[in-house]
A and B are shown apart, each in its own frame.
Chain A
Amino acid sequence: MRLLYFAWVREKTGIAAEDVDVPGDVATVAELIAWLKTRGPEFANAFDRAEVIRAAIDQNQARHDAEIGGAREIAFFPPVTGG
């Protein structure tokens, strides 16, 4: 599964994109975040305030309770500030 990080989520994790093998029992965005936080202090820090982080599954914004089964690309980013 391809994971993308944008804005301060990217800065805190230290990477923009990576391909990962997600454990089979990780079923939702929230569970994916919980698993990511176990991968090291920079991930624990990036996802510390998980409730403010937005997610997208295959380029569609998704809630944290959305299922990730079959997803090719999941992105994490802060609330948007364009315009």
Chain B
Amino acid sequence: MKQTSHDREARDAAFDEQVRSMLSEAAVPAPAASETLFAPVATKAGLWGKLGLAAIGGLFLWGAFELAGNNPSAPSVLTPIPASISASPSAVTGPSGPAMEEGMESSERPDKDGMPDQNAAFEAGGEGGDIAPSTAKPNLAAEPTAVLGSEAISASGSESTTVAAEATEKAALSTSDPVSGAEEGPRADAVSPSPDPAAIKAEPASLPEEPKAPSATQDEQQDANQPTLTLPLTLPSGGGH
């Protein structure tokens, strides 16, 4: 029987339909998909989460460093800080670099030029300006943590004290208890600047400029005759012996 084109087309169409019906629903066991296929959003969320945690951690560390930088120690808890020291920014941050070197150099010299001014400021801030300089002088040196943080004191040479001054210092420590001192004098005076205008005016001008213009005075000559004691730079905090 001769096959016509119409028959052939019909047979092809039937064949196509049979193939389509057999294979359109055919399935082959597929390989397991990789997990990366299903987690584009989770990956992005994880990335943002990690970035957020890193930012929070960075802020925490920054805050911790800021707190540590602003409060290297807590001397005010132990002893009342004189107004002249607590008001100075260098008393908070402490000396560094050239200022520290200058302070070390000046501490090796028997330079006492800055002491009267500091004593006056200390008297004004801590004791209301009624105490004589002879009693305030060892009390300032007996404030180890405050001295460490103070550029003014280190620059003025107050770290090099005499043995005699140390003896009086101990005597002053025994009397200048931080708590009792706060009770004796007005607490606001110990924290806030002294109401004495002379002390306020003398404080900012004298303290930073003292290391640059050392001069031999009578105090210096007196101290030069005495053996000097150089205090270590890292004194233990905590005050009182």
Q: Do A and B come from one complex?
A: no
Contact residues of B with A, CB < 8 Å?
A: none
Contact residues of A with B, CB < 8 Å?
A: none
